[in-house]
Structure 1
Amino acid sequence: MNSKQLIGLVCLVMLFGSCKTETTPEPKSKTSLVQTELGQHIDSVLTPYVNNLRKLTDNTAGLAIGITKGNEIIYAKTFGYANIETEEKADFNTVFHIASVSKPFTAATVVKLIQQGKLSLSDPIIKYIPEFAMKGEGYKDITIQHILNHTSGIPRHVSSNDWLNPKTGPEAMEENLENVKDFELDFEPGSQFSYSNSAFDILGIVVSRASGMYFPDYVKEHILMPLDMNESHYFKPLDTLPKSWAKPYSYGIATQEWSPYPYTEKYFPSSGLQSTLLDMCKWGMLYTGKGTYNGTLVFDEKHFDMLIKPYRDTPWGDKIALSWFVKSYLDKPIIMHTGNDTGFETLFYVYPEENISIVVMANRDFARTGRIVNAASEVVFEKEPKSYNVSARYPFAKAYKSEGIDAAENLWNNMKADTTDIYFVDDNDILTMGAVLENGKHWKDAKTILGHYNTINETSTYSWRLLGNSYLNLKDTLNAKACYEKTLEINPNYEKGKIALESLIKN
């Protein structure tokens, strides 16, 4: 090797060595984006409002708020932790389970297939699922539109414990057809309104059959990808939670993890989508863009109007479009949808006439997403955000942790008598606290809280059974047996009480 070759080799080595030590760093996760004068106004009013509400509700879990105007995000902010135990903050990369806010995505998928000429709203579902059957005859008349308007008559839930025993693979949704065979319709299709998760899960099979693609794959290719919603997913590994995904939390006497994570492929169409704050802002901009996002036409005018057009009344005086609820707030029309699975809350508003969308996502129950989305609306439209009341469960929990159940009980009774402060008292909140503690295996506290609730309401089979579970796990089988027997004294046909008592006696 001559001197020129040696110098060249040294330079090459130095170049590659330099590349290794000066790589471009990964972009830092963001928790706040505020743009425009309106965005600054929202930040100055809404952010302290939310921080105060979270403090009063003892909430350290994650919260994400996104507000768009036209084709721009004007306010996006995250609060708290996606994972409290590891102190992983919620940020723009955090993936939230959005529960029933998945339904408008399913509706959009159906309308996309209509736009492609592959089905129509009036098609009976047996056209695509000839083996679909229920008890009776009326099921043959169920149309795609009936399901999207929640007028199919299919019961709300036809299977249970699917979070505990999640199913995977394309055959998972097909299992919904087996589950529904043992049920009758609640009413003749089209005659009444009744919200049904199970109907939407069957609709996912229609999408698969009409498109020739597995439901989540079709949604990804034809809805998520055109919107650049690249961080939105249906699939989750069964035995682990990806690092960027928010953990579910609830509230016992503190914010605590809830188990299980709400996941099964059976429920993809009704509640299976997971998404990030920025992706959901893109979803909002599709609607403020009247079917167009970032120059990409996803729905033409005819089919976009089909998606959000109100078709019939709901029992509470609003209207229903294709999955979207059509109502108003602050005398302004909105389309909206809520999503709640234990551990997660999502609420989505679109103000079509003002080109505004608002999304609020949380990974804890009792996160007050409804008050927050309304407060955001109030601030956007330059009104003073309304004051709020707070559940008395939070001062009750504080008193219990510091002074014990007697002090907490006295405080509860005093707050019940006082109608002048911000706290509202609902005895069922104590039952909920006990149930969350039992779920988290905090057996001693669950026993105390549930025992206290049973002095308020002696007729709750649910409370007595959970109290029995707490005693059983504290190795007090005598009291556990007495609690299970109490459930059957209240209701001799209470199946879960029978199972618990038989299992205890057998073991």
Structure 2
Amino acid sequence: MSPSAPSASPGTAVAVIRAGEMIHQECTGFADLEWRQPVAPDTVFALASVTKPFTALTVRGLIDLDTTIGAYLPNYPAAGRDVTVRQLLTHTSGIPEFLEVPGFHARSYLPQTPGEILAAFADLPLDFAPGSRFSYSNTGYWLLGQIVEAVTGGSFAEAVAEQVLRPAGMIDTRVLADDAVIPRRARGYSESGGATRMPSVTVAGAAGGMVSTLEDLIRFDRFLLREDDRAAWMPVTLSSGRTEGYGLGWSVGAYRGVEFAGHTGSIDGFVSHYLRFPGEQLGFIVLGNREGLDVHALTRRLVETHLSRPEPVVPVPGPVPAELVGTYRDQDSAVTISADGTATFGRKPHHLRPLDEATYVSADDPDIRLRAHGNAVTVEFPFGSFTGYRGLRSFTTNE
């Protein structure tokens, strides 16, 4: 199951857990190329956005989800004061993505005060009416960290430790302090092989600022097995009545008819994926310290080995309606549908086959589906999805 790579290369740590017991584990490559430190089960990796499930669990243990931002942060700007905590958790707030604000990403490597970060987006209008759309938002999760600190009077790091890490028995997982010296910590690498620099935790924080190990994430899987938190895995329902593939801190959906909940992460030299099939009591963990590692593909190979389900049947070819042709964008993804029935996303063309008047399957990968609804299209791929909107401006993201 290891990705093919030369021996002196950044590494990966993977595990498969069934009913709380580790049934497969493999570590390859190096945590630090300079010191030839090999990846091990206790190597500390940046989690990036796999932080978000931890944030959601912390928030749900402390805060009323249907209370507004303004109730917890009285000085929050008027445009977003009525956004609820639940809308922050489900990426349906409409609050702009701070990583897209010109100049902000370059500053994200330096420590900043909450006031300085808030000023980057405080005067911007909402991107859409809260609850009407799904748009992945690091800003929203950063704000959740601020709300936790306002409620507890302490740090977000201490709150997540009290609510999740200590109950789960996780000993090497934490919110990473900028000046922290951590034993067994992996160094992140770019695709070209150079060492990368991590953003300041003051920016990443509750959105992507945690680190962990393979061993600790196995403990986390056991903790979730005990909790059986099905409410978190329900897909969010928009004001239109349509659902999106995200719950309370989790990407959710079904793979070949089996429900899953998980999250991926990517941040300056690190990638991560944690995936669960709750009904099967089956969990998958993939951690890497090299940009460009396809964690979805690696996870999928593991899933196909340990979860036996037949491949979907591809229907016969059919036409694509002319009104469906166009480009649909979200914050950091896009799909272009051509008149010849080809949908291109992720730099790869997919030949569409109709399942019904609004649902199409890829003839090239039957686990990929496309759902059309009004001026939007949802692309569902193994263990994730995105919804693009026609006419939305093109974004440049640096996460």
TM-score normalized with structure 2 length: 0.72
How far the C-alpha of 1:180 sits from its partner, in A, is 2.4
Confirm or deny: 8 A CA contact 2:92 2:135 kept in the other structure: yes
Kindly provide the CA deviation profile for residues 275-296 of structure 1, in whole angstroms up to 9, marking residues without a partner as x. Answer: 00011111222223334xxxxx
Kindly provide the CA deviation profile for residues 142-190 of structure 1, in whole angstroms up to 9, marking residues without a partner as x. Answer: 00011011011111225322443134xxxx3454333222321111111
Residue aligning to 1:18 = none
Confirm or deny: 8 A CA contact 1:63 1:90 kept in the other structure: yes
CA distance in 2, matches of 1:208, 1:268: 12
Amino acid aligned to 1:151: T
CA distance in 2, matches of 1:358, 1:152: 30
1:376–1:160 CA distance, 2 compared to 1 (3 A): same
- State the SS of the aligned residue for 1:279: helix
- State the SS of the aligned residue for 1:154: coil
- Of structures 1 and 2, the one with the larger relative CO (CA 8 A, separation 6+) is 2
1:173–1:277 CA distance, 2 compared to 1 (3 A): farther
More helix by share: 1
Deviating more after overlay: 214-223 vs 260-269? 260-269
2:253 is the alignment partner of 1:308: no
Unaligned runs of at least 5 residues, structure 2? 312-345, 349-399
1:105–1:361 CA distance, 2 compared to 1 (3 A): same
Q: Of the candidates 376, 380, 391, which is equivalent to residue 306 of structure 2?
A: 380
How far the C-alpha of 1:54 sits from its partner, in A, is 2.0
Amino acid aligned to 1:192: R
CA distance in 1, matches of 2:188, 2:221: 24
1:193–1:314 CA distance, 2 compared to 1 (3 A): farther
- Between the two proteins, the alignment pairs up a number of residues equal to 309
1:237–1:214 CA distance, 2 compared to 1 (3 A): closer
Residue aligning to 2:81 = 140
Identical amino acids, percent of aligned pairs: 28
CA distance in 2, matches of 1:263, 1:244: 20
2:50 is the alignment partner of 1:101: yes
Amino acid aligned to 2:106: N
Amino acid aligned to 1:220: A
The list of structure 1 runs, each at least 4 consecutive aligned residues, that deviate by more than 6 angstroms after superposition, is 313-317
1:360–1:317 CA distance, 2 compared to 1 (3 A): farther
Q: Of the candidates 288, 300, 322, which is equivalent to residue 225 of structure 2?
A: 288
1:173–1:308 CA distance, 2 compared to 1 (3 A): farther
How far the C-alpha of 1:236 sits from its partner, in A, is 3.5
Amino acid aligned to 2:217: M
Residue aligning to 1:242 = 182
Amino acid aligned to 1:326: V
RMSD: 2.7
More strand by share: 2
How far the C-alpha of 1:363 sits from its partner, in A, is 0.3
CA distance in 1, matches of 2:94, 2:7: 40
Confirm or deny: 8 A CA contact 1:313 1:320 kept in the other structure: no
Confirm or deny: 8 A CA contact 1:70 1:289 kept in the other structure: no
Q: Of the candidates 107, 120, 130, which is equivalent to residue 64 of structure 2?
A: 120
Amino acid aligned to 2:118: L
- State the SS of the aligned residue for 2:227: coil
Amino acid aligned to 1:367: L
Alignment of 1:316-335 (within 5 A): 318-335=244-261
Amino acid aligned to 2:218: C
How far the C-alpha of 1:203 sits from its partner, in A, is 1.2
CA distance in 1, matches of 2:120, 2:16: 40
Kindly provide the CA deviation profile for residues 325-345 of structure 1, in whole angstroms up to 9, marking residues without a partner as x. Answer: 111223211011110112111
Confirm or deny: 8 A CA contact 1:337 1:347 kept in the other structure: yes
CA distance in 1, matches of 2:255, 2:308: 14
CA distance in 2, matches of 1:198, 1:124: 16
CA distance in 2, matches of 1:317, 1:307: 14
- State the SS of the aligned residue for 2:160: helix
Residue aligning to 2:120 = 179
Amino acid aligned to 1:217: E
CA distance in 1, matches of 2:183, 2:194: 15
Greater C-alpha radius of gyration: 1
Residue aligning to 2:392 = none
Alignment of 1:155-234 (within 5 A): 155-157=96-98, 158=101, 159-167=104-112, 172-234=113-175
How far the C-alpha of 1:311 sits from its partner, in A, is 2.1
- State the SS of the aligned residue for 2:303: helix
1:71–1:173 CA distance, 2 compared to 1 (3 A): farther
CA distance in 2, matches of 1:143, 1:275: 29
CA distance in 1, matches of 2:231, 2:162: 21
CA distance in 2, matches of 1:314, 1:106: 25
